[in-house]
Structure 1
Amino acid sequence: MKAALVAPNGTLLHEARRPTGRDRGPDAVVESILAFAEDLRAHGVTHFGESASAAGVIVPGIVDAENGIALYAANLGWSDVPMRTLLSERLGGIPIALGHDVRTGGLAEGRIGAGQGADRFLFVPLGTGIAGAIGINGTIEPGAHASAGEIGHIVVRPGGVDCGCGQRGCLERYASASAVSLAWAAATGDPDADAADCAKAVEAKDPKALAVWQDAVDALADGLVTALTLLDPRTIIVGGGLAEAGETLFGPLREAVEKRVTFQKLPTIVPAALGDTAGCLGAGLLAWDLLATYNDKTPQNTPQNTPHTPHTTHAMHTDVMAPTEVSD
């Protein structure tokens, strides 16, 4: 888990990390989150003279953001957790925003990261799997059923490798950091070889690495071209562990996408700017947005009657790092 105190301008005033405790079961994970939030609040009082005025928490899996419920997360083992209610009770009734990890990371990249100035963007982190966040005018489109942006489950190789979603040939089975790690381990015969090792071997012009890497790039380009055909983004932001390869990834990826487009307008393809702070920053933005709606609904919200602007909000990012991820 990552947590932070976030200023109104998006500055991270304090950061901390803790394990989720998932080996002790889902109830322990929930209690870890609540205790972490409580400690973060106490830190704000001690070091900034006041507690945070709102909190944002983002989690993987299926999220009912409107009702504040973490519906399901396989890695964390929970279902139907009333996260907003539990956190609000623990934090003295302050406003609580709940969000999905990838969509919230996309919110941060769009507002204060690589997507600034782009009215339409697609954020695609390449990690254990592949997901996406569709940015439109400073907000993220959740979809009718809160599942918009699942680009990792576009079928790019029909009849290909089985995917946990029930399909075969999904993008994330070919172009995620996990997929590259598995392919490179198979190519080298080294079960400990991973995507970062493959990227280094690509830079050294290793023929096996070049083949593994190109397969992943081609699959990713196929998925991105499908997405840009449907969404017409001005910018595609690629993040996650695989993006840490820099131009080793982005050079061939831009070339592969350009070869595939026909009538479509070619978007700018850029690396994410916020790294692993995107989640916490996005959670902070969710909290500030929620606080703004509370203030807007206050009848006496006038210059004379409005309290001074609060200094901080809580921001929490709960996730699990799988062994095959290059980085979180």
Structure 2
Amino acid sequence: MYKAIVINKDESGYRANLQTLDESALPEGDVTVKVDYSCLNYKDGLAITGKGPVVRKFPMTPGIDLAGSVVSSEHPAFAVGDAVVLNGWGVGEGHPGGLAQMARLKGDWLIPLPAGVTPRQAMAVGTAGYTAMLCVLGLEKSGVTPDQGEILVTGAAGGVGSVAVAILARLGYTVVASSGRPEETDYLKTLGAAEVMDRKLLSEPGKPLARERWAGAVDTVGGHTLANVCASTKYLGTVTACGLAGGADLPATVMPFILRGVTLKGIDSVMAPKAARLEAWERIGVDLDMDKLELMVNEIGLDEAIETAGRLLEGKVRGRTIVNVNR
């Protein structure tokens, strides 16, 4: 028997609750994992509350991330006792996910837990932090270097933004954090932000081209914010886009791209190939200050995840929320 959050949708409506299930309820897969920690991401919040079309079949256990140990395996890459981490692959959407004490998965979706990283730390990183690292790698591979000027991070007090600020600052970039929560200014500066700016300066309709300021950016917001970021990015700068907390539309013009050569680089973490995942996690182990990571963490038990998901969507949760599924 194991505990899991289960989402159902039927004539009674859409609902999520904590249930105790028999192991026979586990889906098909070649690796069974005893889950130690999961976490709450924006997508998990949408799934649990039903405020976004995330879940593709019912019943469904949400949780796009998990870290734990293998208890049985028919996959050649994994043996009993191996520590593993999972991010994405549609888990928690079309395949039962990590907000449970047990999970059965395809071994091809798993990667070994990086040396020196605990399951708790892995979920403090989670998809949010792994996505942030993919964004940083995107900037680096586009040639953006610390000496070229300021890097903007939007939605900076959220999970992706917090980790991006910490990593970029540690790598020597001058980071400007955009946030709608002025009470988080000290927190963001502790993570390494040189300046914190009000998100309202970016969230309203702006000019097709604005004064050049950013050498690069990590955008988690989308909408008018992303359009304004592109419009104010320097010649040959790069903007990595990975979120839509402010909207899925992009009310922009081609001007920044054809007059300044700005690159808008989309970042997908869900279906990223294994090589990219391994590179990102290797760099996380080196470039993310684990003491700063701890400043971002709010730990809850599995029975608190449903209520916390609603608060997450309301923008009332700072940093990273990890779920101790056995608490």
TM-score range, shorter chain: 0.3 to 0.5
Structure with higher helix content:
1
Structure with higher strand content:
2
Rg (Cα) greater in structure = 1
Under a length normalisation based on structure 1, what TM-score does the superposition of the two structures give? 0.33
